[in-house]
Amino acid sequence: MASPWRATVLTLFPEMFPGPLGVSLAGKALASGVWQLEARDIRDFATDRHRSVDDTPAGGGPGMVLRADVLAAAIDAADIASDRPKERPRLLMSPRGRPLTQSRVRQLAEGPGPLIACGRFEGVDQRVIEARQLEEISVGDYVLSGGEIAAMALIDACVRLLPGVMGKAESASEESFSESLLEYPQYTRPQTFEGRQIPEILTSGDHAKVAAWRRAEAEALTQARRPDLWGVHESAAKSATKE
């Protein structure tokens, strides 16, 4: 029997986990064993009596940098404890990383689960990034106090795609970023809210017309709000046509 999808987080604040991951869909799936979460304290791998994990930047400058030897020891220990160390992606949450996309999330969800290092301070010694082949991933063009919240976002995005977590498999296929499109507008009862009606076509019972309306709305929203994403969608559509 295959092992459950497992996320191992290396952090200076293991008490932050599971946090939001312990409630709602992710929490229920965690409690039922669909996936596993392990938070390891990087400070356990410090070698001095003060349990130091950082030092001043080489070349000068403000702040502190997470030491290569300490983080490397934490990664190596996590690998030893894993039953599939060579198959697991090693990630570093970093504002300079490649943007996290739904396609990368899907790839991660289909694997054994990642090892995620959470940076703090001014960053992480470049040598450990290279020596342990860490894939730097960003969740947006802004800076957080550390990688923990970003790691939670990545894990949550993956967990909801695991088999049995969401009620209907098609839920994931129609939401934002499927086919590089934003999701169409959603409505539910009451029929009238402050003078605003549910679009008549959605209550027509004509499934083909509903699907066409939703597609058109998704395309219009994507063009207006995410021209970058719309470009990706158009390129994929052209490639599919040529094939």
Residue 171 pLDDT greater than 80, yes or no: no
228 backbone dihedrals φ, ψ, rounded to 5° = -65, -45
* Residue 122 in tokens: 């001014």
pLDDT at 198 over 80: yes
Q: 177 vs 216, which has greater pLDDT? A: 216
Tokens of 201: 């076509």
Domains of the chain as residue ranges with CATH: 5-159 (3.40.1280.10), 174-242 (1.10.1270.20)
Give the integer Cα–Cα distance in Å for 114 and 89.
5
How many C-beta atoms surround the C-beta of residue 89 within 10 A? Answer: 17
The tens digit of pLDDT for each residue in 85-115 reads 889 999 999 999 999 999 999 999 999 999 9
